Amino acid sequence: MQPFWTFTGVLNDIISTMFNRKFMEELFKPQELYSKKALRTVYERLAHASIMKLNQASMDKLYDLMTMAFKYQVLLCPRPKDVLLVTFNHLDTIKGFIQDSPTILQQVDETFRQLTEIYGGLSAGEFQLIRQTLLIFFQDLHIRVSMFLKDKVQNNNGRFVLPVSGPVPWGTEVPGLIRMFNNKGEEVKRIEFKHGGNYVPAPKEGSFELYGDRVLKLGTNMYSVNRPVETHMSGSSKNLASRTQESIAPNPLAKEELNFLARLMGGMEIKKPSGPEPGFRLNLFTTDEEEEQAALTRPEELSYEVINIQATQDQQRSEELARIMGEFEIMEQPRLSTSKGDDLLAMMDEL
Amino acid sequence: MFRWERSIPLRGSAAALCNNLSVLQLPARNLTYFGVVHGPSAQLLSAAPEGVPLAQRQLHAKEGAGVSPPLITQVHWCVLPFRVLLVLTSHRGIQMYESNGYTMVYWHALDSGDASPVQAVFARGIAASGHFICVGTWSGRVLVFDIPAKGPNIVLSEELAGHQTPITDIATEPAQGQDCVADMVTADDSGLLCVWRSGPEFTLLTRIPGFGVPCPSVQLWQGIIAAGYGNGQVHLYEAATGNLHVQINAHARAICALDLAPEVGKLLSAGEDTFVHIWKLSRSPESGYIEVEHCHGECVSDTQLCGARFCDSSGSSFAVTGYDLAEIRRFSSV
């Protein structure tokens, strides 16, 4: 019997929503670093851009996994400019999933072109600022990921391993040499010193072209080897008091942030299926009971709040949002289960 | 040989910035002050010898327009002839406090006039030079503030032009008392160094070009400029001529901080490669050329360092901060 949904279909829906021209246009506008709440809201919307649904617990787990994987990639970038190479690795892998869809392929290539245009010419100093700013977003997140623990890239305290061996970044010399020069710039003395690491020269520079050997492995598919993935809540952050306090941030319903979200959401075009299809629910735990249990026992500090758009005080703002939300095509479907994750969608349906 | 001493806990982990640790030694009061930037807040704390924490306080950048609270770029104590001020730079402007961080005595809002929408606007790079405090900005301009012996009557006296890219760090040393002696170095994101002589008006003496990587940290000692770069190298230049005399392949990742122990000419370098190195600067007795010797290396496992300072002027102890680390790690020699 032919299944009514396919993984290809789900991937296509999510990827084409993510790379939608209007959505990308909004993303590329100069803006401040997203708040955690804003990013989580957008992410949840994207994750539901197909007939696949997730309960709150699975959604939280997926988001944790994405966050820690991305933190790992940004932290371990040998040079700040490598964040762009990591992004290109992401795009290359995504293109591998949608080989048979020329329209979506074109959208991704267009994004590639935009990335090159905007970021290709930035200086090392500008990339360093970008990387430092991204690291602020990930500060104090120490959720343990099974795959990372198994591969020994993460310690049991949730911190990532920073190896002191391997190739140095492109443009850096292997440490250990001191050269001294006279007034004419001629080398007059050379000394070696013991630097403590075990480094080797960089083999070659990764390519920033549309197609090319990126050299860097960060950002390539973590699942190319088949294995289970779990995240651990217990012992995730000993010093919970040190967690970045969002409470000192201004009201998350601040005008600018709502504007930004409205524009981003407006840029997402969710496809309506051709006939009545029941959705399917993705559970990232081994059983439904485990998923329910995870939702109940998730530590307070690690619960994500999705922005409650309906709760805005600003009358004009909510009218504008209502109009934009109305432009979405939300699928009619029987609900398999109600949970917090569905509430946002339900609200939008009722607008 | 150094041993790991008792760490000082921080309320908030250190942000991934450069030069993210300031230390104020108060030997007369048997106290040391530490300053670390967390992100939108900076943490000041005082500790007794042996690292016993005493008091702590958090400072925030002054609010302004925008979605999120402004980020702090640096916090640094400036020791002037008659007073010590704490300076805090952010994406909004420059705040100056009395040394314990309790009273704000001055606020300077940055002018973002010429900035394009894609450009980040911030102040960064703080140093005291005589009775002036110099602060760098995103545009490359260095602001020179005239500080009175006491009180809040601080005046912006000069804006130095010399850089075109954001300032990263500023280093100064007391003038040696002769003519034409450089006593200030400013560094920027392109790796360019400008060498200045302070005075009622500052004079640009030399420019030392960069080579495609930022120079996040710079120090000045007895006419020797020590510059740490984004490619992990430390360069030593003769301030009077701008000539490069020593090139050290010191770190495997970007250097994030340099510090000096002026009594003994020791240089401390910390990098994102998790290593700290201590170097001894000297001059060859025959040629007078700058020489250097490696003294010690320390690995702070799995920690991308972001700040490092000597805790005494003889260089026998030092402290480091690392990204995501909620403590100040201290080391002292045995």
Please check the confidence at residue A249 and state whether its pLDDT lies above 50: no
CA B236 to chain centre: 17
More confident residue, A195 or A32: A195
Other residues' Cβ atoms within 10 Å of the Cβ of residue A179:
15
Other residues' Cβ atoms within 10 Å of the Cβ of residue A137:
18
Helix (H), strand (E) at residue A344? helix A340-350
Chain A 60-89, residues with CB within 8 Å of chain B CB atoms = 75, 78-80
Read off the pLDDT of residues B87-109 as tens digits, 9 standing for 90 and up: 999 999 999 999 989 999 999 99
Residue B50 backbone zone (phi > 0: left; psi -120 to 50: alpha; other: beta): left
Distance CA B73, CA B91 (A): 7
More confident residue, A54 or A75: A75
Distance CA A183, CA A165 (A): 35
Is beta strand B266-271 parallel, antiparallel or unpaired with respect to B275-283? antiparallel
Please say whether the beta carbons of B158 and A70 come within 8 A: no
Please say whether the beta carbons of A19 and A268 come within 8 A: no
What pLDDT does B113 receive?
Answer: 78
Residues in chain B, total? 334
Cross-chain Cβ contact B294/A78 below 8 Å: no
What pLDDT does A52 receive?
Answer: 83
> Which 3 state secondary structure label does DSSP give A259?
helix
What pLDDT does B117 receive?
Answer: 81
What pLDDT does B184 receive?
Answer: 97
The arithmetic mean of pLDDT across residues B100-121, rounded, is 89
Other residues' Cβ atoms within 10 Å of the Cβ of residue A93:
15
Nearest CB to B304 within list A125, A162, A168: A162
Tokens 């012996």, residue? Answer: B149
Cross-chain Cβ contact B60/A248 below 8 Å: yes
What percentage of chain B reaches a pLDDT higher than 70? 97
Encode A78-124 in three state secondary structure.
CCCCHHHHHHHHHHHHHHHHCCCCHHHHHHHHHHHHHHHHHHCCCCH
More confident residue, B112 or A89: A89
What pLDDT does B114 receive?
Answer: 78
What pLDDT does A103 receive?
Answer: 93
What pLDDT does B38 receive?
Answer: 96
Q: What contacts B64, CB < 8 A, 6 or more positions away?
A: B70, B92, B109
Residue A303's pLDDT band, with cuts at 50, 70 and 90, is low
Please say whether the beta carbons of B94 and B107 come within 8 A: yes
The arithmetic mean of pLDDT across residues B4-31, rounded, is 94
Instruction: Look at A299-308, B96-105, B177-186 and tell me which has the smallest mean pLDDT.
Output: A299-308
Residue B180's pLDDT band, with cuts at 50, 70 and 90, is low
More confident residue, A37 or A226: A37
Please check the confidence at residue A334 and state whether its pLDDT lies above 70: no
- Identify the top-confidence range among A193-207, A231-245, B109-123: A193-207
Nearest to A144, CA basis, from A74, A238, A283, A226: A238
- A175 inside 8 A of chain B by CB: yes
Please say whether the beta carbons of B104 and B57 come within 8 A: no
Distance CA B215, CA B213 (A): 7
Q: What contacts A192, CB < 8 A, 6 or more positions away?
A: A176, A177, A178
Please check the confidence at residue B185 and state whether its pLDDT lies above 50: yes
Distance CA A95, CA A205 (A): 22
Tokens 């300053």, residue? Answer: B35
Read off the pLDDT of residues B154-167 as tens digits, 9 standing for 90 and up: 999 999 999 999 99
Mean pLDDT across chain A, nearest whole number? 77
Residue A241's pLDDT band, with cuts at 50, 70 and 90, is very low
More confident residue, A31 or B256: B256
More confident residue, B2 or A238: B2
Please check the confidence at residue A175 and state whether its pLDDT lies above 70: yes
Residue A243's pLDDT band, with cuts at 50, 70 and 90, is very low
Please say whether the beta carbons of A193 and B249 come within 8 A: no
Cross-chain Cβ contact A164/B275 below 8 Å: yes
Instruction: Look at A7-21, A84-98, B119-133, B257-271 and tell me which has the smallest mean pLDDT.
Output: A7-21
Q: Return the CATH architecture of domain B1-331.
A: 7 Propeller (2.130)
Please say whether the beta carbons of A206 and A170 come within 8 A: yes
In DSSP notation, A191-218 reads EE---SSEEE----PPP-SSSS-----T
What pLDDT does A33 receive?
Answer: 80
What percentage of chain B reaches a pLDDT higher than 90? 85
Torsion sign across C-alpha atoms B298, B303, B308, B313:
negative
Tell me the shortest Cα–Cα distance from B80 to chain A, in angstroms.
Answer: 31
Please say whether the beta carbons of A253 and A312 come within 8 A: yes
Please check the confidence at residue A314 and state whether its pLDDT lies above 50: no
Please say whether the beta carbons of A321 and A309 come within 8 A: yes
What pLDDT does A285 receive?
Answer: 79
Is beta strand B184-188 parallel, antiparallel or unpaired with respect to B167-172? antiparallel
**What pTM value is reported for the model?**
0.86
Nearest to B237, CA basis, from B228, B246, B250, B229: B246
DSSP state of A172: -
Cross-chain Cβ contact A185/B69 below 8 Å: no
- Chain A residues with CB inside 8 Å of B68's CB? 32-33, 35, 249-250
Taking CA atoms, A154 is separated from A74, B275, B328, in Å, by 14, 19, 22
- Sheet with strand B72-79: strands edge to edge: B72-79, B84-90, B93-98, B104-109
Query: Which residues, listed in sequence order, are joined to residue B134 by a DSSP beta bridge?
Result: B127, B144
More confident residue, A334 or B169: B169
> Which 3 state secondary structure label does DSSP give A322?
helix
Nearest to A271, CA basis, from A15, A17, A6, A3: A17
Q: What angle is formed at CA A32 by the lines to CA A14 and CA B137, rounded to 5 degrees? A: 150
Please say whether the beta carbons of A257 and B67 come within 8 A: yes
Taking CA atoms, A286 is separated from A147, A294, A308, B42, B132, in Å, by 16, 11, 30, 43, 65
Q: How far apart are the first and last CA of chain A?
A: 38
Distance CA A29, CA B201 (A): 42
Please check the confidence at residue A253 and state whether its pLDDT lies above 50: no
What pLDDT does A251 receive?
Answer: 47
- Chain B residues with CB inside 8 Å of A161's CB? 302
Q: For an interface test with A, which of B215, B273, B292, B329 has the most A Cβ atoms less than 10 Å from its Cβ?
A: B273
What pLDDT does A222 receive?
Answer: 81
- A155 inside 8 A of chain B by CB: yes
Please check the confidence at residue A277 and state whether its pLDDT lies above 60: no
Please say whether the beta carbons of A82 and A171 come within 8 A: no
Please check the confidence at residue B168 and state whether its pLDDT lies above 70: yes
Q: What angle is formed at CA A347 by the lines to CA A345 and CA A349, rounded to 5 degrees? A: 70
Please check the confidence at residue B153 and state whether its pLDDT lies above 90: yes
Tokens 């795009």, residue? Answer: A91
Tokens 């301009």, residue? Answer: B141
Q: What angle is formed at CA B278 by the lines to CA B100 and CA B329, rounded to 5 degrees? A: 45
What pLDDT does A319 receive?
Answer: 52
Tell me the shortest Cα–Cα distance from A24 to chain B, in angstroms.
Answer: 17
> Which 3 state secondary structure label does DSSP give B294?
strand
Domain locations in chain B as residue ranges: 1-331
Distance CA B291, CA A190 (A): 11
What pLDDT does A330 receive?
Answer: 34
Cross-chain Cβ contact A125/B214 below 8 Å: yes
Residues in chain A, total? 351
Tell me the shortest Cα–Cα distance from A146 to chain B, in angstroms.
Answer: 19
> Which 3 state secondary structure label does DSSP give A125?
helix
Is beta strand A165-167 parallel, antiparallel or unpaired with respect to A198-200? parallel
Residue A2's pLDDT band, with cuts at 50, 70 and 90, is low
